Amino acid sequence: MTARKQAAAKKKAAARKKQAKRAKAKGGTPANGCGSQFRQTFKNIDDVLWKEAGCSSELDYTEQTSWLLFLKYLDDLEQEKAMEAELRGKSYEYIIDEAHRWSSWAAPKKADGTFDHDDALTGDDLIAYINDELFPYLRGFKQRASSPDTIEYKIGEIFGEIKSKFQSGYSLRDALELTDELRFRSQKEKHELSALYEEKIKRMGNAGRNGGEYYTPRPLIRAMIQVVNPRIGDRIYDGAAGSAGFLCESYEYLRERDLTTSQLNTLQTKTFYAKEKKSLAYVIGIMNMILHGVEAPNIIHANTLSENISDIQEKDQFDVVLTNPPFGGKERKEVQQNFPIKTGETAFLFLQHFIKSLRAGGRAGIVIKNTFLSNTDNASIALRRELLQHCNLHTVLDCPGGTFQGAGVRTVVLFFDKGTPTRRIWFYQLDPGRNMGKTNPLTDADLTEFIDLQATFADSPKSWSLDAKNIDPATLDLSVKNPNGDEELVHRSPEAIIEGIAILDAESAAVLGKIKALL
């Protein structure tokens, strides 16, 4: 083993120890018991939403919880900054005016600090206030903000996209009083709330067939981050952000270091960048990053694929791309015109965008359907050629079926560096030794061997290397074919088979619906 590889292996081993410690901490209960208290509050809010006529799904629950949490967080943040300013003998200029602050309408208090029920709006009066006064006021911040990277602009964006679905002012009053029990003052409290919010996003992701748009398994994200190894000063990008899981986990990964004030400022304002097309995912992504500690996330509400990649200049490029773009979607002809390789497959358009968005020397970890490695259509072959000629595709992680709940497809993770052609590709076939599913999700432990072996590109019964000279120049087929013996046949459980049938039925129904609409 070369000295460079030994150093890299030691560095990744140290990172793994920190990662394992953090993963363990996420699963534990804090000593002060606030975790169990916050968990019960989240459950109680869900109970209120379940009874609310305007909310009918996990997506609704997460959406409505998000705007409540955001306004409570903002109020706590402003109170904290006001106290800090007072200690320095300075005044603090509030973002939200007094009439619209949480403490004025959501949770008015008496002089002794107890809840003032006499002064609190409820019933039809509360619904009217939210819909006719509060939300229009908050939406107006988008026009009043000095620039898109301010918290004021994010407030306007969020409340321009989200609507209150509460029909009962009494249910909303209950939800407000429960939300007021949550605190965002200490880092520990924010950590607990972010973990609970992640659980909510996971449930939402598992609730529907398109859950992968919102939720990528966090153990897979953490493994991808360890391989790509982002550093302070890197500009990290996800153009298909979803719930911003990649950016949140990258923040946690970088935040574990001992950072200077200047580095902390860089982490807050010049590190994380994202785009998200869908309104709900955009709102959830911002809220998720805020709960993890990024005060004004640089997430833009836009369709990434609407940008012509020939317009991407060096100043627009990034050091790191970490992402799981949507797969299975189809894009219109006019969108395809933004790309040199024309294809209706959404994921393949995203891959072209991400390659162009990387600076020379930039690193990427991208989830994609495993059929990308072997499809024989002209677009797939041309895209593989583009990747192999202009990037060093050094690692391919083959994920088992069931890694993504409800996706119904097998996936791989492509790891590559931009600027040099591919010479040798290291493959790893992930086999947790069990059927993957809702009751048996991916864990950090499942990926430990992959991270260990990837540090030195070591061969094993599950890993091997392919010399680029041995790739068929006509087809550029990169299919995962383990040369280390026959693959063991793994029989799917009855539950997994039934879930697969349900997914196919839903897809068939959607296709039939489109056909009927054309008749």
212 inside domain: yes
316 inside domain: yes
Give 70-86 pLDDT, tens digit per residue: 899 889 889 989 999 99
Least confident of 29-43, 245-259, 267-281, 307-321: 29-43
Same domain for 106 and 236, yes or no, is no
CA separation for the pair 134, 121 (Å, rounded): 13
**What is the model's pLDDT at position 238?**
97
pTM: 0.81
**What is the model's pLDDT at position 27?**
43
Same domain for 181 and 214, yes or no, is no
**What is the model's pLDDT at position 56?**
82
- Return the structure tokens found at 137: 């006021």
312 inside domain: yes
Give 367-410 pLDDT, tens digit per residue: 999 999 999 999 999 999 999 999 999 999 999 888 877 666 78
Share of the chain above pLDDT 70, in %: 83
Give 124-173 pLDDT, tens digit per residue: 999 999 999 999 999 999 999 888 778 888 899 889 888 999 999 999 99
441 inside domain: yes
100 inside domain: yes
Q: Is the pLDDT of residue 508 over 90?
A: no
Q: Is the pLDDT of residue 30 over 50?
A: no
Give 451-492 pLDDT, tens digit per residue: 999 999 999 999 999 999 999 999 999 998 888 855 444 444
Specify which of 32-41, 60-69, 105-114, 356-365 reaches the highest per-range mean pLDDT. 356-365
C-beta pairs of 437-441 under 8 Å, 24+ apart in sequence: 437/402, 437/405, 437/493, 437/495, 437/496, 437/499, 438/206, 438/405, 439/495, 440/402, 441/217, 441/405
Same domain for 267 and 310, yes or no, is yes
Q: Looking at per-residue confidence, does 205 or 181 come out higher?
A: 181
Same domain for 176 and 219, yes or no, is no
190 inside domain: no
Asked whether the beta carbons of 78 and 95 are under 8 A apart, the reply is yes
For residue 289, the enclosing domain spans: 208-488
Same domain for 366 and 236, yes or no, is yes
C-alpha distance from residue 28 to each of 37, 191, 209, 440 (Å): 14, 12, 30, 19
| Total number of domains in the chain | 2
Q: How confident is the model at residue 4 (pLDDT cuts 50, 70, 90)?
A: very low
Given 153, 185, 217, the domain boundary residue is: 185
CATH of residue 412: 3.40.50.150
**What is the model's pLDDT at position 499?**
56
CA separation for the pair 347, 98 (Å, rounded): 46
CATH of residue 129: 1.20.1260.30
CA separation for the pair 245, 403 (Å, rounded): 16
Same domain for 181 and 226, yes or no, is no
In this structure, what are the phi and psi dihedrals at residue 482, rounded to the nearest 5 degrees?
-70, 115
Specify which of 33-37, 430-434, 444-448, 500-504 reaches the highest per-range mean pLDDT. 444-448
Specify which of 19-33, 99-113, 187-201, 498-512 reaches the highest per-range mean pLDDT. 99-113
Least confident of 106-115, 217-226, 241-250, 268-277: 106-115
Same domain for 295 and 442, yes or no, is yes
CA separation for the pair 231, 18 (Å, rounded): 15
Q: Is the pLDDT of residue 22 over 70?
A: no
**What is the model's pLDDT at position 138?**
96
Look at residues 285, 276, 364 and name the one whose alpha carbon lies nearest to residue 317. 364
Q: How confident is the model at residue 26 (pLDDT cuts 50, 70, 90)?
A: very low
12 inside domain: no
In this structure, what are the phi and psi dihedrals at residue 491, rounded to the nearest 5 degrees?
-85, 130
Dihedral of alpha carbons 310, 314, 318, 319, sign: positive
Same domain for 153 and 243, yes or no, is no
Non-local CB neighbours of 246 within 8 Å, separated by 6+ positions: 216, 221, 224, 225, 236, 238, 322, 323, 324
Same domain for 270 and 226, yes or no, is yes
**What is the model's pLDDT at position 244?**
92
203 inside domain: no
DSSP summary character for residue 219: H
Give 92-123 pLDDT, tens digit per residue: 999 999 999 999 999 999 888 888 888 899 99
Same domain for 219 and 164, yes or no, is no
Asked whether the beta carbons of 285 and 326 are under 8 A apart, the reply is no
Same domain for 131 and 229, yes or no, is no
Same domain for 253 and 179, yes or no, is no
